[in-house]
Amino acid sequence: MAESNVKVLGTWASPFVMRVKIALHLKSVRYEDVEEDLLAPKSELLLKSNPVYKKIPVFFHAHNPICESLIILQYIDEVWTTSASSILPSDPYERSQSRFWAAYVDDKFFPALRRLLIGATEEDKKAALAEVVGGTVVLEGAFGELSKGKAFFGGDNIGFVDIALGSLLGWIEVIGKQCETKLVSEAKTPRLVQWADCFSAHEAVKDVLPDVDKLADFGLKLRAKILKALAPTN
Amino acid sequence: MAEEVVLLDFWPSLFGMRSRIALAEKGIKYEYKEEDLRNKSALLLQMNPVHKKIPVLIHNGKPVCESLIQVQYIDEVWHDKAPLLPSDPYQKATVRFWADYIDKKIYDLGSRVWKTKGEEQATAKKEFIESLKLIEKELGDKPYFGGESFGYVDVAFIPFYSWFYAYEKCGNFSIEAECPKLIAWAKRCMQKESVAKSLPDQQKVYDFILQMKKHFGIE
């Protein structure tokens, strides 16, 4: 069903934007896709709608802007309620577990992944790699707990944690190739490997995850931009 | 079966205070267990193996970690008394945004105020005051962040009031001079029993911070 006044301000390469699109696909909500160029100065719309962080994604519903991807996901889940496509579980304890693991992805796993991408020295990269691989092992354990033998963290269907972690799969592959390591490996995390395949093939996901070569190319440009910004000026 | 609620905590923890307040708002009886963070208990390590941090809320033997997740859990389980989050999805998103801002910005900037000195501290102080002013703007003329009633953002932020004196002494500035509305709001919150009983004395917090500075070799 077409929804007016539903807009996503973001970019094809951002995993945080991908989360929002996956959630909307899951709920069969049509939206306007507004592309922000991360390599160019920030747009007026972005600066106006997210004055606090000036970051994408920004989700618009009936002209109300909502920021922070995990907050957006919960909003989408609460507005478009069909039990068939519930993003968070209904039980409060299970909800707290889903929130915990999504927060782990954002607060621990993603920063380590980012450090691995932009690591300037071999030492930085080595430390970041150990953290990322350690993180995948922790997430393998979480998968065991949450999935209860089913295909996804969310059980029979994809849920909050699947979307939070799954949106990073493109970058995980790109960064892994750069380091010549499989970050999600069969040896250490067999269940996650299987989960990654199921997630990527899901109806709501497959058109959202970007082409890995295109992402790799973008990754090089983004890394250069970040390192230039971090470099001390004389 | 009787509800069994345990909170693993550490008295000056801003995060632990949130859960204490939420539990008190709902009138829930619980067992408070003080942790020695230099010698973490087996229970803490078992209940929070991922982060090994307090607070940990244990409800009928099952752990919930991360303070804002605990507050939302408490609000959802004991939903028939003193609602903390609004029911409207857009308002919910707004309160979640500001609670998250408090954790991402205010907490880190406040830490830098007491942990650093000189040039670094001056910068931290400036950014900290800016972040307080931003949240003061969000409060506006409302009695609470939650509007007419005490809510989620109030719970998330009021613990910081117990640390204000320490920040002020370490940074040599007055928060009331910069953000009078925030202080008025804080004093209003302190009138509530749930808050007054959950926050430690400001002098005690300052003494603790001085000990921490000595321990870390900061001035």
Span A35-49, pLDDT tens digits: 999 888 999 999 999
Tell me if A231 is assigned to some domain: no
Mean pLDDT for B23-29 is 98
Q: How confident is the model at residue A232 (pLDDT cuts 50, 70, 90)?
A: confident
Q: Domains of chain B, with CATH numbers?
A: 3-76 (3.40.30.10), 88-214 (1.20.1050.10)
Tell me if A153 is assigned to some domain: yes
Which residue reads 């929070």 in tokens? B48
B31-34 and A58-61 beta bridge pairing: unpaired
Q: How confident is the model at residue A2 (pLDDT cuts 50, 70, 90)?
A: very low
For residue A194, give the CATH number of its domain. Answer: 1.20.1050.10
The fraction of chain B above a pLDDT of 90, given in percent, is 96
- Reported ipTM: 0.96
Looking at the structure, tell me whether residues A75 and A101 fall in a common domain.
Answer: no
Query: Which residue out of A100, A106, A131, A139 would a mutagenesis test of the B interface target, given it has the greatest number of B Cβ atoms within 10 Å?
Result: A100
Considering chain A, what is the average pLDDT of its residues? 94
pLDDT for B81 equals 95
Mean pLDDT for B95-113 is 96
A137 close to B (CB below 8 A): no
Looking at the structure, tell me whether residues A98 and A48 fall in a common domain.
Answer: no
Contacts of A83 (CB under 8 A, 6+ apart): none
Domain ends where: A34, A55, A79?
A: A79
Convert the pLDDT of each residue in B122-161 to its tens digit: 999 999 999 999 999 999 999 999 999 999 999 999 999 9
Chain A CB contacts of B101 under 8 Å are 52
B98 close to A (CB below 8 A): no
Starting at the earlier edge strand, list the strands of the sheet with B5-9: B31-34, B5-9, B56-59, B62-65
Residue A35, SS3?
strand
Considering chain B, what is the average pLDDT of its residues? 96
Looking at the structure, tell me whether residues A171 and A197 fall in a common domain.
Answer: yes
Looking at the structure, tell me whether residues A133 and A63 fall in a common domain.
Answer: no
Query: Total structural domains in chain A?
Result: 2
Query: Positive or negative CA dihedral for B7, B3, B156, B69?
Result: positive
Looking at the structure, tell me whether residues A170 and A67 fall in a common domain.
Answer: no
Chain B CB contacts of A88 under 8 Å are none
Which of A79, A93, A96 is facing B89, going by the closest CB pair?
Answer: A79
Which of B59, B76, B92 is facing A95, going by the closest CB pair?
Answer: B76
- Whether the pLDDT of residue A200 is over 80: the answer is yes
Which residue reads 């390591």 in tokens? A181
Tell me if A230 is assigned to some domain: no
Which of A68, A75, A100 is facing B69, going by the closest CB pair?
Answer: A100
Tell me if A227 is assigned to some domain: no
Looking at the structure, tell me whether residues A139 and A212 fall in a common domain.
Answer: yes
Tell me if A213 is assigned to some domain: yes
B107 close to A (CB below 8 A): no
Contacts of A85 (CB under 8 A, 6+ apart): A26, A27, A28, A157
- Angstrom distance (rounded) from CA B164 to CA B174: 9
Enclosing domain of residue A102: 92-222
Domain ends where: A79, A107, A142?
A: A79
DSSP letter (8 states) at residue A109: I
Looking at the structure, tell me whether residues A14 and A56 fall in a common domain.
Answer: yes
> Using the beta-carbon criterion (under 8 Å), do B93 and A96 form an inter-chain contact?
no
Buried/exposed B42-74: b ≥16 CB within 10 Å, e otherwise: eebeebbeeeebbbbbbbeeebbbbbbbbbbbb
Six-digit token string for B17: 């205070």
Chain B CB contacts of A78 under 8 Å are 89, 92
Q: Which helix (H) or strand (E) holds A8?
A: strand A6-10
Domain ends where: A33, A55, A79?
A: A79
For residue A37, give the CATH number of its domain. Answer: 3.40.30.10
Q: How confident is the model at residue A3 (pLDDT cuts 50, 70, 90)?
A: low
Looking at the structure, tell me whether residues A101 and A207 fall in a common domain.
Answer: yes
Tell me if A173 is assigned to some domain: yes
Six-digit token string for B6: 């345990």
Number of A/B CB contacts below 8 angstroms equals 52
B85 close to A (CB below 8 A): no
